[in-house]
Amino acid sequence: MKRADRLLNTPPYPFARWARHLEAARQRGLDVIRLDIGDPDMPPPDAVIDALCRSARQPEHHGYPGYRGLPALREAIAGYYERRFGVALDPDSEVVPLIGSKEGIVNMALACLDPGDLVLVPDPGYAPYTRGAVLAGARVHMLPLVGERDFLPDLYTIPADVADRAALMWLNYPNNPTGATADLPFLAGAVDFARRHSILLCHDAPYCDVTYDGYVAPSLLQVPGASEVAVEFNSLSKTFNMAGWRVGMAVGNAEALASLAQVKSNVDSGLFRPLQEAAVQALSAEPGWMQARNAVYRERLEMAVKGLTAAGLEASLPRAALYVWAQIPPGTDSETFALTLLEQTGVSLAPGSFFGPAGEGYVRLSVTAPTPRVREAMDRLGRFAG
């Protein structure tokens, strides 16, 4: 059977490989506690589930849903951006609903990159930024994120010829996997950089409402003029505990979004209508729901940081996102460390190397397991460290 050459440069998704280790551990009788992926364990608001069920009972809601998304969904997304960030969006030209933001991230690469184009990608970072570029035949220039710079890329050290050749740059704050945050002045610098070098700036912000201790994450589109050069990706997966529902959005630059919509109309047929109506309901959820949910994550994060630190890893509390990015003791690589931990205790953390070469030396712990399981995992980690 012929296999496309482009797959030669697209290795299997690292978590798909990790799934085999998890299966082996379970087969050996281990009680596996998965703290390796950011898959929310709590449900969405009840009203969202009710909206889905109500809509699904309508006999006329089961056909092809239309490529652009319901006007009501595009208006609800624009309404959310207005209320949450004070950003005004035209629901017709500046909003594209997505089948999860991962879909949009990869399709955006197909929409705006040609073979040989250059893409700037944070390292460590969410794998689809690189995978999308590779599937489009583009080349990747890594932007290292290091602790000494609070995991923000140093845009001034990007060689001028690289910046001038780049077609697209990815940023992601609040950040996966490091939990780092970026303030508006940093984002304004990135917009300025993108403008000077004619780069499409794509900011991925699915954790903007998973925040702690009063921190409020900005949108890139709050930077004046940002939508002249930028698109922001967002998602209901983490904001409303709806990862399995696959609802995301791309907002901002109308020209880039028209290209994305053109790819999508050739590839998918839009979101199931009841999902769109449930998403409209979610986007109008009252802030109290989010605060209560975030308080649960905050308690787990504190538990995790204490447990990791007691076990000899270096870790601190993030202001946002679902992750503790912990430095492992020297003398081993992150995949060996995580695999040994899994095989000896059943606790599964993500090796930092899964997120890029600069992730080596770290593991990522996600607090998306029930609180008693996080506590149990930290007890096991303590015994592992001896």
Task: Count H helices and E strands in the chain, helices first.
Answer: 13, 12
Under the binding rule (CB under 6 A), the answer on residue 100 touching ligand PLP is: yes
- Total interface residues for ligand PLP by CB under 6 A: 13
Q: Which is nearer to ligand PLP, 34 or 102 (CB)?
A: 102
Under the binding rule (CB under 6 A), the answer on residue 176 touching ligand PLP is: yes
Q: In sequence order, what are the beta bridge partners of 250? A: 96, 233
Q: Which of 55, 101, 107, 219 binds ligand PLP (CB under 6 A)?
A: 101
Q: In sequence order, what are the beta bridge partners of 97? A: 249
Segment lying near ligand PLP (by CB under 6 A), choices 45-53, 95-103, 159-167, 211-219: 95-103
Question: What span, in angstroms and rounded, lies between the C-alpha atoms of 223 and 227?
Answer: 9
Between 37 and 66, how does the x/- string for binding to ligand PLP read (CB under 6 A)? Answer: -x----------------------------
Under the binding rule (CB under 6 A), the answer on residue 204 touching ligand PLP is: yes
Touching ligand PLP, residues 271-290 (CB under 6 A): none
Q: Which residues contact 35 (CB under 8 A, 6 or more apart)?
A: 304, 347, 348, 349, 365, 366, 367, 368, 369, 374, 377
Under the binding rule (CB under 6 A), the answer on residue 248 touching ligand PLP is: yes
Under the binding rule (CB under 6 A), the answer on residue 182 touching ligand PLP is: no
- In SS3 terms, 231-274 reads as EEEEEHHHHCCCHHHCCEEEEECHHHHHHHHHHHHHHCCCCCHH
Q: Which is nearer to ligand PLP, 126 or 354 (CB)?
A: 126
Amino acid letter for position 173: Y
CA distances from 327 to 44, 49, 196, 316 (A): 32, 39, 36, 10
Segment lying near ligand PLP (by CB under 6 A), choices 84-92, 98-106, 268-276, 279-287: 98-106
Q: Which of 109, 217, 243, 328 binds ligand PLP (CB under 6 A)?
A: 243
Q: How far apart are the first and last CA of the chain?
A: 51
Segment lying near ligand PLP (by CB under 6 A), choices 97-105, 217-225, 307-315, 357-365: 97-105
Tokens of 148: 């000494």
Residues forming contacts to ligand PLP in the complex (CB under 6 A) are 38, 100-102, 126, 172, 176, 204, 206, 235, 237, 243, 248
